[in-house]
Amino acid sequence: MSYTEVAYSVADRVATIALNRPQARNGYTITMSDELEDAFSRADADPDVRVVVFTGEGTDFCVGADLSAGSLEVAGDDTGGGAAGGEQSWQEPAGRCSRRIFASNKPVIAAIRGAAVGAGSTIILPADYRLAATDARFGFVFSRRGIYPEGASTWFLPRLVGLGTALDWMVSGRVFGAEEAARAGLVHQLHEPEDVLDKAYELARDLADNTAPVSVAVIRQMLYRMSPLDSPGPVHEVDSRLIAECASDPDAVEGIMAFLQRRAPEFSGTVDKDIPAWLPWREEP
């Protein structure tokens, strides 16, 4: 797929996926949704990519859905009539991006500056890290537009900031600043606007250099898929089987030897070949 509203590049084992409609403050469209879904799938399938940095061109990350036509864009050519007929196959555009990030086997670092409102707030929730500029502004503004939350945000947001804060932000629909987002746990780090992307790449390089890709892939999926369970029992069963397999796992051997020898590890495992096939979520969408 060639991209018109997303920029994609790879350097030093880091893929950069950037919203690329700066003239429209990166207003979110169905085309952008299609391209983001493809770009994250492309990064996930590329063995040369270890980490993804997710950002936006220009001074705003994303101002939310593009409302320039005066209404919401709710159907693309691939929906066969879209939402108007109540078809269950139609998927709203922000959720297509957030669910793809959720399913990713590569860590995703969101680097955010300026406005990140509506879809701009929901599509960053599944990222492993959210680094924000001090000028960033967030808002789950749906109640103020007479519409409803998207991007599966009512699932992601309470897990990040707690139900009380999620209720406040979503029911009120108010816009809030970077400092409030950081205090609540939505944002991991705050930086000056001109520094936030460099800091994201610094973090990406650390992850690419010092972590095992298969371990990272399994860990992020275990946290998402297993932390909501009502008992630690099934989680411990998975833990036990994974740890039992470490004795014959080249990455585990390499990680321990690198630690004992005080050197940087050289992990050989790849997510396309070495994630255990028996993990309970492997067949899930």
Each residue of 178-189: pLDDT tens digit? Answer: 999 999 999 999
Q: Which residues make beta-bridge pairs with 53?
A: 16, 109
Query: Residue 153 carries which side chain, given as an amino acid letter?
Result: S
Specify the 3-state DSSP secondary structure of 79: helix
Contact by Cβ (8 Å): 96, 33: yes
What pLDDT is recorded for position 78? 47
User: Taking phi first (over 0 means left), then psi (-120 to 50 degrees means alpha), and beta for anything else, what does residue 93 get?
Assistant: alpha
Domain 6-208 CATH class label: alpha beta
Please indicate, yes or no, whether the overall pTM of this predicted structure exceeds 0.95. Answer: no
Whether residue 285 has pLDDT greater than 70: no
Whether residue 101 contacts residue 128, with contact meaning beta carbons closer than 8 Å, is answered with: no
- Report the Cα 121 to chain-centroid distance in Å: 11
Mean pLDDT of 166-172: 98
Distance between CA atoms of residues 188 and 130, nearest Å: 6
Q: Would you say residue 87 has pLDDT above 90?
A: no
Angle at 19 between CA 13 and CA 113, to 5 degrees: 90
Q: How are the residues of the chain apportioned to helix, strand and coil, as percentages rounded to the nearest 5?
A: 45, 15, 40
Q: What is the pLDDT of residue 80?
A: 40
Per-domain boundaries in the chain = 6-208, 211-274
pLDDT per position as a tens digit, 214-228: 999 999 999 999 999
**pLDDT interval class at 75 (50, 70, 90):** low
Reported confidence tier of residue 82, pLDDT bands at 50, 70, 90: very low
Average pLDDT of span 265-280: 94
> What digits encode the pLDDT tens for the residues 119-167?
999 999 999 999 999 999 999 999 999 999 999 999 999 999 999 999 9
**pLDDT level of residue 86 (50, 70, 90 thresholds):** low
Report percent pLDDT > 70 for the chain.
Answer: 92
pLDDT at 81: 41
Nearest to 201 by CA among 12, 9, 18: 12
CATH number of 211-274: 1.10.12
Range scoring the smallest mean pLDDT among 40-49, 80-89, 124-133: 80-89
Res. 76: pLDDT tops 60: no
Contact 254, 245 (CB under 8 A): no
Return the pLDDT at 89.
Answer: 81
